[in-house]
Structure 1
Amino acid sequence: MNEVQELTKILEGLSQAGSFQSAANRLTRWARAFTGCNAAILRLIEDDGHGPWLAGYVADGADAAFFRDEMMVHETECICGRVATGAIDRSLPCYTDGGSFIWDRLSTLTSDLGQERIGPLRGRCIKENYESVAVFPVRAAGRSVGSLHLADSRRNWFSASVGVVEAACRLAGDTLLRFKAREREQALLKTIETALLPGVPPVVEGLEVGVSFTSATEMAHVGGDFYDVLDLGETGALVLVGDVCGRGVEAAGTAARARYALETQASLTPDPAEFMRAANDSLTRLLPADRFVAAAACLIDRRSGSITTCLAGHPSPLLLTSSGIVEVKAPHNPPLGLFAGLQFSEGTQEMPAQDTLLMYTDGVTDSRNRDVRFGEEGIARVVAGLPDHDPRRIARSVCDEATGFHDAAYPGDDRLVLAIRRGAR
């Protein structure tokens, strides 16, 4: 099939799509199949008045962790954002006349062209060992509305297909945007929830994990709650819970940025106080002056049974024991992203087998009814009424009871509950 026929095929396929999700899937899957690359991600520009974010709608072939990390990218922090907004230097050999980024030796990009000329990089494609990367602007009505990001582990992969894919993306935006904004919004909500609040937590040996959270039905109501559970091998398991101030696209983008910063720093050193310090310095540079992140990090040593906790403007976790509920002992530190150069403190205590760690965002305890807070007392009442300490039952029951307790006359907030039980060795 020649280039004209290939272009005609995808454009006809897009025109026949009956929904935004179908059209987005068709474009992404076609690009990956046509080029034979490892992974493809379709992103569109979203802006709620606080600056553009590049939001991932569809991924094909990409590892789940890679897509989760790349789901929300600010316009300034990597090449994909700059291609989408047209903020590129066309004098560089990595850019085409059509505004696309094409490079087939990604591991040597900065040494080949110079970091200052290229601009900021997240480095996630390099971490994934991709060598060939192509980012094409997606256009509608003569303006850029997003980008199509293709990646492959082999070198010199995209040179033969650039013209067709670039043309397809130049014409695809009008089709994608012809669908109602509400339909696109629902697709984005699903992507954000999958990235920040996976309904099924990761499986970690030696731990039982339950999670429950409230879901937004409109983008304007999306908050910044997030969590992660990381298996660090012999070091143990790291549990992260965080909350970003604000709502909408910016809150979701900031939460994605915070989760990525915490995970990146934790991969370098598992000590909670140390990686929180490094993440704070990174976020202070990245976040606007009026934004911050509340976070709690708990490192569970599955061998010794100890738990090391670092709190950054976040409520203290609770430990559910055979004799009752106690607050995890850890000093409180400022939220992340406000001041650079801070040192963070942590606390360590025992977590016997079959005890359950309960972590939650302040939307749970701040639920109100007739001027009465749900509080830690509400959590204790719920747990006391349960037949056992099954983590899934605990997380679901606490979240549901706090949501039902809250009077809609008061401002609402997101609610996230994570329960982790350490099994016997």
Structure 2
Amino acid sequence: MRAGRRGNPSAGRPRSASLAGRLTRRRDQTLLVLVLLVALWALMASASTPGLAVAMYGLVPIVLAGYWFELRGALLTATATTLMFVVDKVLLAPHPDLGGATVWLAAMNRALVFFGVGVLVTLLLRRERALALRVRAQEEELAELESLRAVLTPRDVPDRPHLHIATSFTPADGLVAGDFYLVVEGPASSTTIVVGDVVGHGLEAARCAAFVRAACATFARFTSDPVQLLQLANTALSETSGTGNGPSPFVTVVCLNVAAAPESTVRWAAAGHDVPWDLDTAAALPGGRIGVPLGIGAEPLVVEAGTTRLADGRGLLVFTDGLLEGRTADRDRSAPIALFGEERARQVLREHRGATPASVLDALVAAVTTFARGAPADDLCMVALRAEPVGAAAG
């Protein structure tokens, strides 16, 4: 007979200890408020004058009760403090200056002060705590965004035989977007390159980008067909998005698979994304049929692949819309939007014909940031590659 699994007797100890600690603190806080109320009673009973100065000491337990027990604690303590004044000055030790309606007017004045301070302190504390929670949430979101950004656009990409690959990511001046790239080994020593952009900004866009990138990285190891890779990623995204209550995000993606040398055939497919460009001529690769972005509708993704050959020395460029739509983030809202555009991008490529992929990307980034007069309004993500002769070392 298989022995049953024994429970861990210490598993519930941290939670029990934490609960016991909270109960102990609550007890001590309650006792302190009660002690202050008793001290206030003694002070009021020994005072020879019924002025507000003595009664104002009642604000101390009220403020503490509001801090520890929020509105209910503040109101209960204010009620107790007011009743103490009434009992002392009306029943136990009536003061000659507080006769008739005067004593009730004095009690009302003190009640207004006690209850007003209790409510005010509670509201201020609630606002302060809400602000602290908001700041903490923003700090956690920023930390998560930084972690996701490191995953989406890593500084280092794997070396691939007979390919010189360079990557570049230029963050926008504003909210974090969902741009990403992926370079991974595919079947038969091929190389799969994926560049994508989630529509939208912020944490949700970054999370969606991380999911799509992880899905592509997983499927790319088992298929060299860029169409199939996009279809698999689209299915995964659609299934995941269907479990949520909000609108489904959609992602533009371009995928390339470069066969191992000496064949070096490139197959590419795009879903709502700009097609790859020749790194030297700046011409868009011919062929293929661009499909809709990933995550739109439940129908299967319809997309056709384009094919070209990556001869020795030839290069390709894939990029997100931050290149062609590069613009300044700090512009006059009344002025028309000026975009970097295709012609400027193509001119940069022609001027750097034959340069290394890294040099071309540096030139493009410099041109876009100069045009935008600083950080652009949208993220710019690019991957450039150039085929090296079979006898050359990969860079």
TM-score by length of 2: 0.58
User: Secondary structure, in 3 states, of the residue corresponding to 2:311?
Assistant: coil
Q: Could you say what the CA RMSD is over the residues aligned between the two structures, in angstroms?
A: 3.3
The answer on whether the counterparts of 1:210 and 1:419 sit within 8 Å (CA) in structure 2 is yes
Q: Which of the pair is proportionally richer in helix?
A: 2
User: Secondary structure, in 3 states, of the residue corresponding to 1:364?
Assistant: coil
The answer on whether the counterparts of 2:186 and 2:223 sit within 8 Å (CA) in structure 1 is no
AA matched with 2:152: L
AA matched with 2:178: G
Query: Do residues 301 (structure 1) and 262 (structure 2) align?
Result: no
For residues 282 and 186 of structure 1, do their structure 2 counterparts lie closer, same or farther at Cα, with a shift above 3 Å needed? closer
Tell me which of 231, 241, 263 is aligned to 1:277.
Answer: 231
Offset of residue 334 of structure 1: 0.9
Residue pairs, 1:165-184, within 5 angstroms: 183-184=139-140
AA matched with 2:324: T
Residue pairs, 1:95-114, within 5 angstroms: none
Distance 1:353 1:391 in 2: 14
Q: Which has the higher contact order (CA 8 A, sep 6+)?
A: 2
- For 1:206, the equivalent position in structure 2 comes to 162
For residues 235 and 185 of structure 1, do their structure 2 counterparts lie closer, same or farther at Cα, with a shift above 3 Å needed? same
Distance 1:165 1:415 in 2: 47
For residues 183 and 384 of structure 1, do their structure 2 counterparts lie closer, same or farther at Cα, with a shift above 3 Å needed? same
Residue pairs, 1:316-327, within 5 angstroms: 316-321=275-280, 324-327=281-284
Query: Do residues 393 (structure 1) and 359 (structure 2) align?
Result: yes
For residues 417 and 159 of structure 1, do their structure 2 counterparts lie closer, same or farther at Cα, with a shift above 3 Å needed? farther
For residues 297-316 of structure 1, the C-alpha deviation after alignment (integer angstroms, 9 at most, x for no partner) is 00001221210000000001
The answer on whether the counterparts of 1:294 and 1:312 sit within 8 Å (CA) in structure 2 is yes
TM-score by length of 1: 0.54
Offset of residue 216 of structure 1: 5.3
Query: Do residues 251 (structure 1) and 205 (structure 2) align?
Result: yes
User: Secondary structure, in 3 states, of the residue corresponding to 2:221?
Assistant: helix
For residues 183 and 358 of structure 1, do their structure 2 counterparts lie closer, same or farther at Cα, with a shift above 3 Å needed? same
User: Secondary structure, in 3 states, of the residue corresponding to 1:191?
Assistant: helix
Tell me which of 300, 306, 318 is aligned to 1:347.
Answer: 306
Unaligned runs of 5+ in 2: 22-132, 329-335, 391-395
Tell me which of 352, 368, 375 is aligned to 1:402.
Answer: 368
Offset of residue 230 of structure 1: 0.6
Corresponding residue pairs, total: 260
Distance 2:322 2:347 in 1: 17
Query: Do residues 224 (structure 1) and 178 (structure 2) align?
Result: yes
- For 2:249, the equivalent position in structure 1 comes to 291
User: Secondary structure, in 3 states, of the residue corresponding to 1:246?
Assistant: strand
Unaligned runs of 5+ in 1: 1-155, 172-176
For residues 169 and 285 of structure 1, do their structure 2 counterparts lie closer, same or farther at Cα, with a shift above 3 Å needed? farther
Offset of residue 263 of structure 1: 2.2
For residues 216 and 414 of structure 1, do their structure 2 counterparts lie closer, same or farther at Cα, with a shift above 3 Å needed? closer
Offset of residue 391 of structure 1: 1.1
- For 2:108, the equivalent position in structure 1 comes to none
AA matched with 1:419: A
The answer on whether the counterparts of 2:186 and 2:220 sit within 8 Å (CA) in structure 1 is no
- For 1:417, the equivalent position in structure 2 comes to 382
Q: Which of the pair is proportionally richer in strand?
A: 1
Distance 2:365 2:275 in 1: 17
The answer on whether the counterparts of 1:364 and 1:403 sit within 8 Å (CA) in structure 2 is no
Distance 2:279 2:383 in 1: 13
For residues 401 and 341 of structure 1, do their structure 2 counterparts lie closer, same or farther at Cα, with a shift above 3 Å needed? same
User: Secondary structure, in 3 states, of the residue corresponding to 1:274?
Assistant: helix
The answer on whether the counterparts of 2:254 and 2:268 sit within 8 Å (CA) in structure 1 is yes
For residues 178 and 348 of structure 1, do their structure 2 counterparts lie closer, same or farther at Cα, with a shift above 3 Å needed? closer
AA matched with 2:255: A
The answer on whether the counterparts of 2:172 and 2:377 sit within 8 Å (CA) in structure 1 is no
Residue pairs, 1:46-195, within 5 angstroms: 183-195=139-151
AA matched with 1:315: D
The answer on whether the counterparts of 1:235 and 1:301 sit within 8 Å (CA) in structure 2 is yes
For residues 230-286 of structure 1, the C-alpha deviation after alignment (integer angstroms, 9 at most, x for no partner) is 112524100000000111110001111111222223233221111211221221222
AA matched with 1:232: G
User: Secondary structure, in 3 states, of the residue corresponding to 1:327?
Assistant: coil
Distance 1:168 1:332 in 2: 60
Distance 2:285 2:15 in 1: 54
For residues 167 and 244 of structure 1, do their structure 2 counterparts lie closer, same or farther at Cα, with a shift above 3 Å needed? farther
For residues 370-416 of structure 1, the C-alpha deviation after alignment (integer angstroms, 9 at most, x for no partner) is 6443222222222233374211121222123213213689x921111
